[in-house]
Chains A and B, each alone.
Chain A
């Protein structure tokens, strides 16, 4: 008998099978993930969690008997029946008492619940999204380096041992120094065994001994043969990007609208922090005056007041000027508002956005939030801000705008705004 302890073996042997399964179920899972993200608290999204997907598409069909037909079944536990009794059929077709093993076939497994890890969840959640037009690349802080093969070296760590190169050198050296081959010695030994002549035998013995010492002196692999693969650090160009989040928190924004706007920024925040290491995020919120805040304040703390959109744009322009040189940075902005602006600010807003903001931005996304069902109403006139932006967009500026009035629309709109553009509209 033999006892083996396998507990220390690497776990996750079925990881690959699991990944294959996920790949196969991807479409279903993505839909489920999106649905799950609607009713979930946004901070929970980061935690992954349980997902339920329909089992079809993943089924493994087999031939098996369907319902119907004559069944004879033997069961344990007869308490009251006598031979010849007639029992009423259970409701809803062959239930437990009668059908026995025959039921519980195909539809026993209607949905399939399982846990996704946090990483798996986010991967699926943010799949196929990217910042558009990430064009300006620059050698940023040397933090980002890649390794590149750079020939061979005589010293290095054992993991980098270049086996082929080493044995090639060893072979060359062995040939050059005429190291006798084991075959040669074997051959001589065979001859020796066959040989009768005493003198000749002595000569051969001497030769074999000489060959053997020679073989010992010339090692099979010598330290001078050994080569290691050499790697060099190469700085890699990094695309630096900054995202400006501009949110209207004025009194005209209802709780519902703020919730929508915050959800949108949460998604954006998750997306940027998960996907890009070199993205800075600037949070600006505004009422009739704008202020740059940290994320905690941005998402959590309340504020109220009038609405002057240009104040936020002005703040953004100032920050760009101070900290983010447009030559080096890819600049993005996402603005969420209910579209109200104080009368008289329209001109200023339009000129700011045309002359100061859009020229430095790679992409500007505008999200107009409304009361539930508001945007379905075709009679409602466009808001002040929407009118301005629409005009700019038709002029061909890199500006995208969407309206959102329901929670469930947030994710689709978000995806829509940041969907990877395959044909690529490179600058």
Chain B
């Protein structure tokens, strides 16, 4: 096969050739199924830009993005940190950013990684299919940007900024964790907002205000259960609850909360599939690049250049290494994908025992495609981390109980007795339900003092960090407009701690 490029230089024809070559291998040999791709070449500054607004090409304006930009820029300028080679967006068409300064080999690597690896994962993984609307996201972001700008014009920067600050603080607690009735459709969402507003404006009649109403429902008539049922409590999606029930919010503020909530929901799958997503992309780029090299489409020198970047990416320092900062999702993901490939094609007796369903079936890509479509990090690790890989990575488990004064116990190591425990524990550490504090709105007395009550279900005695919790509660109280109480409750229903917060002046009360 003819060489795709010579040297490090590239132009758009080169990119096209690289893409076509990758496409042939990716679609034909690996059987990938991807959204159409849109490759955008950008400068380093634009890359820093994109970084700071959580990777999205267009986003509403907010000071926190400026802060991130400043941080990234300072790190980049002083040489403390390099830039990511690519950013890829879960949208259709799938947008991949390529840095203009990369060499041709790097561009090939990035195209294989992002335009095929991530792209396939976005299109096929069940979490993304369930929770995100790739077709609508760019339009929705455009809508969000315009909406926020219009709110700023109408209601002033300060008010909008405070609302967004508060909403951002609650973002992580504002996703639906269980699939609801309908699929998210952002385009309709936008349309709906417009219609609702038009309807309100056209049907407004001040006379209604003067019509006498019947006697209000007696407070006592509503039992606690009934009241909670009416409010849909307990509710884990805090912004949703505020949007629907917040007594002091203006309509536009509700819409802002809704926007932030939708964006949080859009990113929800990404947090749960870091290992799988990066593992998939890394595995795909590795396969494609190796195949290109085998066919002679890239030279030995370029292949070595690729291997160097690749090994940097999948480097996993051990726990006692100063560079260690937890498991590298690229390294773990890639190692597991390779390991599964090995189990499918060349299993040992141990593998046959542990993975009877896939060991020796022969078609590695079919097995991997199935896994990519139907698992998230937690279930993936929980089922497919093999004893062999645990041995190779020399995994061990520590049990740190503050009550034990002697020290930290080595709970399990990489041996027969330990495999299951290590695997279960590692899976748990990738479970978002386990990592994020579990907080839900449990009660509010709308007829009485309107105090909002939340519970944090404490697991293993891990309480919330005090100072930050207080700050977030302040934001929450400002949105709610009345007092807020957060109880930290352990599994036996004992209250460990209570945080109370009152709204600080009516900052958010709409003018």
Contact = CB atoms under 8 A, between A and B. Distances in A.
8 contacts: A65-B465, A69-B462, A72-B400, A76-B394, A77-B321, A83-B418, A86-B410, A114-B73
Given A1-B37, A69-B462, 10 more contacts: A3-B15, A7-B42, A14-B52, A61-B468, A61-B469, A62-B169, A72-B428, A78-B395, A105-B468, A115-B77
Given A14-B52, A86-B406, A87-B407, A74 B429 contact: yes
Given A81-B413, A83-B417, A87-B408, A76 B393 contact: yes
Interface of A: 1-7, 9, 11-14, 16-25, 58-79, 81-89, 94, 96-102, 105-106, 112-115
A18 B52 CA distance: 10
Contacts of B173: 63
Interface of B: 12, 15-16, 19, 23, 36-43, 45-46, 48-49, 52-53, 61-67, 69-71, 73-74, 77, 93, 97, 100, 115, 157, 161, 165, 168-169, 171-173, 316-321, 324, 326-327, 393-402, 406-415, 417-418, 422, 425-426, 428-429, 435-437, 439, 456, 458, 460-469, 471-472, 475
A17 B53 contact: yes
Contacts of B429: 72-74, 101
B63 A17 contact: yes
Nearest to A1: B37
Given A70-B461, A79-B394, A86-B408, A20 B468 contact: no
Contacts of B435: 101
B397 A73 contact: yes
Given A21-B70, A85-B410, A87-B408, A66 B400 contact: no
Nearest to A9: B46
Contacts of B97: 6
A18 B46 CA distance: 14
A7 B101 CA distance: 11
A13 B472 contact: no
Contacts of A79: 318, 394
A109 to B, nearest CB: 9
A60 B168 contact: yes
Residue among A16, A64, A79, A106 with max Cβ neighbours from chain B (10 Å): A64
Nearest to B69: A14
A71 B403 CA distance: 12
A329 to B, nearest CB: 41
A72 B326 contact: no
Nearest to A82: B413
A65 B459 CA distance: 10
Contacts of A105: 465, 468
Query: Dominant SS at the B interface?
Result: mixed
Contact of A18 (B36, B70, B408, B456): B70
Contact of A1 (B38, B321, B426): B38
Contact of A65 (B428, B462, B472): B462
Given A70-B400, A106-B465, A18 B410 contact: no
Nearest to A74: B426
B400 A94 contact: yes
Contacts of B471: 59, 61
Given A5-B41, A17-B65, A97-B398, A62 B472 contact: yes
A83 B413 contact: yes
Contact of A89 (B71, B394, B396, B407): B407
A191 B292 CA distance: 67
Contacts of A70: 399-402, 460-462
Contacts of A100: 326
Contacts of B413: 78, 81-83
Contact of B41 (A4, A71, A83): A4
Interchain residue pairs A-B with the least CB separation, the first 3: A77-B318, A21-B66, A69-B462
Contacts of A84: 409-410
Given A17-B63, A115-B77, A7 B41 contact: yes
B425 A72 contact: yes
Contacts of A58: 67
B467 A82 contact: no
Contacts of A12: 45
A106 B43 CA distance: 33
Q: Which of B100, B319, B412, B435 is packed against the most chain A CB atoms within 10 Å?
A: B319
Contact of A73 (B38, B49, B66, B400): B400
A14 B73 CA distance: 11
Nearest to B426: A74
A46 B36 CA distance: 51
A303 B12 CA distance: 67
B398 A24 contact: no
B415 A2 contact: no
Contacts of B65: 14, 17
B398 A87 contact: yes
Contacts of B115: 1
A358 to B, nearest CB: 45
A81 to B, nearest CB: 5
Contacts of A1: 16, 19, 23, 36-39, 115
A64 B40 CA distance: 36
A89 B40 contact: no
B36 A24 contact: no
Contacts of B41: 3-7
Most chain B C-beta atoms within 10 Å of own C-beta, residue among A75, A106, A112:
A75
Contacts of B19: 1, 3
Q: Which residue among A13, A63, A64, A74 has the maximum number of chain B CB atoms within 10 Å of its CB? A: A74
Contacts of A88: 407-408
B93 A2 contact: yes
A18 B66 CA distance: 4
A4 B468 contact: no
A16 B16 CA distance: 35
Given A65-B462, A77-B320, A98-B400, A17 B66 contact: yes
A75 B469 contact: no
A4 B465 contact: no
